[in-house]
Structure 1
């Protein structure tokens, strides 16, 4: 504790996304906190997007999840993908801000609480090997490792592989996103037996249409998983 206090005197904690001083490590200042859209209250039970109204104790679903079949049981997100949340995701994904994985995993763990079950195995959405070499790390794997530790769950970072380079989903409409991910993900042949009869929690940084999660969920179900839940750091939501 003495060493920590001394370090704080020499290097006062700074906000995760600006230079403002904060009272604890890995914290946000008041301004950045207000600009970070955390998901709270009533949400769609399939994708985690916020819904109008009060919680009733019964599952509620957004228009997208009512019109598109989801091969998973439940889904949650910690943030909405806009404002400071978008900056956090992009810094983690493209800016080598690996330190952001620690607070982000805590937000994810809190969002995942209604879904967590003792028998779950946690796995990240994989990157294609070419993109992994270029980026040097998979941000989803950093998040899934930390969430599994916080939740006390089994973790398999290489449960899945991406069979082909799918390119960016950005700029594609919903149908094109699903077509792009068709048969793109599969279970790792040496890890496939780990999903048999188990509930799998899939983790990624961003959910937009749900196409990537759908491809991963279908691969796990085909491999014998009994159920799938999905968890995203940020959820893209339509403006209302």
Structure 2
């Protein structure tokens, strides 16, 4: 550990230009050489399925064709309106987006948080402009202890700093541990998360009457966003929108 700290201290004293010769900028997605740190190479950039208008105004799912008839709602939004007001995401959870999310979450690539947060700030600028505070989807303390960090908190903190909005990570907590959502159906995911979140009474004043922007890395079925938004609304939030890096699904139509 002492040797690592010594090397780190020495590297901090080296000018950025010299460091780039030792550690050339690499693609955040695949590790290929790039011109700028934190950038994506042309191959990864072209493989990122960015979400653009028109989208479902509630779930943020993109439509394949612009129908030109004003705000659009997907069949799912009409049949199953979410608890949160609106959801927006940078890209569909495919190939490059999946790789970036996995590298941040499972490979301890914490440097990717700022890269992903910049893209989220651009995609969610409308939600961010109306938000009065940002709250990350929390991990249960046992899972946080094992992972050592909460990727949603890293993303939310970076977005809040860039937008000069309050970052309130303690405003929402996991009231109980839940099993992994991987492989569960939509109904099972919702059941698994029922009652999983709560607003601590001592923190309720931080969100009471405020428009809250909930932040997570990936939206799969919306069950996590719904459960977290329900807890925030019960805790006194005026409204809750959801911003994530990736969205599982495909275009509509």
TM-score range, shorter chain: over 0.9
Question: Which of the numbers 33, 51, 54 marks the counterpart of 1:39?
Answer: 51
1:155 partner SS:
coil
> In the alignment, what sits opposite 2:144?
132
> In the alignment, what sits opposite 1:100?
112
Aligned residues of 1:47 and 1:77 also touching (Cα < 8 A): no
Aligned residues of 2:131 and 2:213 also touching (Cα < 8 A): no
Aligned residues of 1:118 and 1:153 also touching (Cα < 8 A): no
Q: Which moved more, 1:168-177 or 1:38-47?
A: 38-47
After superposing on structure 2, the runs of 4+ consecutive aligned residues of structure 1 that deviate more than 6 Å are none
Alpha-carbon RMSD across the aligned residues, in angstroms, is: 1.8
> Which blocks of at least 5 consecutive residues in structure 1 are unaligned?
none
> In the alignment, what sits opposite 2:40?
28
Structure 1: distance between partners of 2:48 and 2:227:
29
- How many residues align? The count is 239
Structure 2: distance between partners of 1:19 and 1:89:
15
Question: Which of the numbers 179, 182, 192 marks the counterpart of 1:170?
Answer: 182
> Which blocks of at least 5 consecutive residues in structure 2 are unaligned?
1-13
Aligned residues of 2:61 and 2:250 also touching (Cα < 8 A): no
If you compute each CA radius of gyration, which structure gives the higher value, 1 or 2?
Answer: 2
Structure 2: distance between partners of 1:81 and 1:187:
29
Q: TM-score, normalised by structure 1?
A: 0.94
Structure 1: distance between partners of 2:157 and 2:69:
30
Structure 2: distance between partners of 1:163 and 1:4:
44
Structure 2: distance between partners of 1:57 and 1:102:
36
Tell me by how many angstroms 1:100 deviates: 0.5
The C-alpha deviation readout for 1:198-234, integer Å capped at 9, x for no partner, is: 0000001111111111111111111111111101111
Structure 2: distance between partners of 1:142 and 1:57:
38
Structure 1: distance between partners of 2:185 and 2:75:
16
In terms of fraction of residues, the more helix-rich structure is 2
Query: Are 2:62 and 1:50 aligned?
Result: yes
Change (3 A) 1:166 1:30: same
2:45 partner SS:
helix
1:191 partner SS:
helix
Structure 2: distance between partners of 1:145 and 1:237:
26
1:154 partner SS:
coil
Aligned residues of 2:61 and 2:251 also touching (Cα < 8 A): no
Change (3 A) 1:19 1:151: same
